[in-house]
Amino acid sequence: MAQIIQTSRGNYLLSDPEDGNIRSERDVLDLLGHFGEVRAYLLLVSDGALHPDFFDLSTGLAGEISLKLSTYRVKTAIVVDLESIPSLRFQEWAGECNRGREIRFCADLTEAEDWLLDIE
């Protein structure tokens, strides 16, 4: 479900890019179990790893997942093309997340890794 990425700038956990394998709060808890190996609460969610329900705010999945990540203070970068998400409400919510320090939506892997590892 995830792999540890080791770089000269630091280590983080990368979710598998399988289609929609993060589909519940339980899946997030399973990911959290890997953080002992990483020794940092940094998570990069690759494009396609989130279940499509995540992008539909009416399902509550995005709220459940983001709350769990925030509760455990997991700095999370999510790689996704926001323009491809048809929901304006989701895009607004993602914009709000991007103003914070815990969850950020990024256009590509490089941007996500740079933000996650505090590279500007």
pLDDT for 4-24, tens place per residue?
A: 888 888 889 999 877 678 999
| Global pTM value | 0.90
pLDDT at 36: 76
> Which tens digits make up the pLDDT trace of 71-102?
999 999 999 999 999 999 999 999 999 999 99
Q: What is the mean pLDDT of the chain?
A: 90
Domain ranges of the chain: 2-116
Statement: residue 120 has pLDDT above 60 = no
SS (H, E, C) the chain: CEEEEEECCEEEEEECCCCCCECCHHHHHHHHCCHHHHCCCEEEECCCCECHHHHCHHHCHHHHHHHHHHHCCCEEEEECCHHHCCCHHHHHHHHHHHCCCCEEEECCHHHHHHHHCCCC
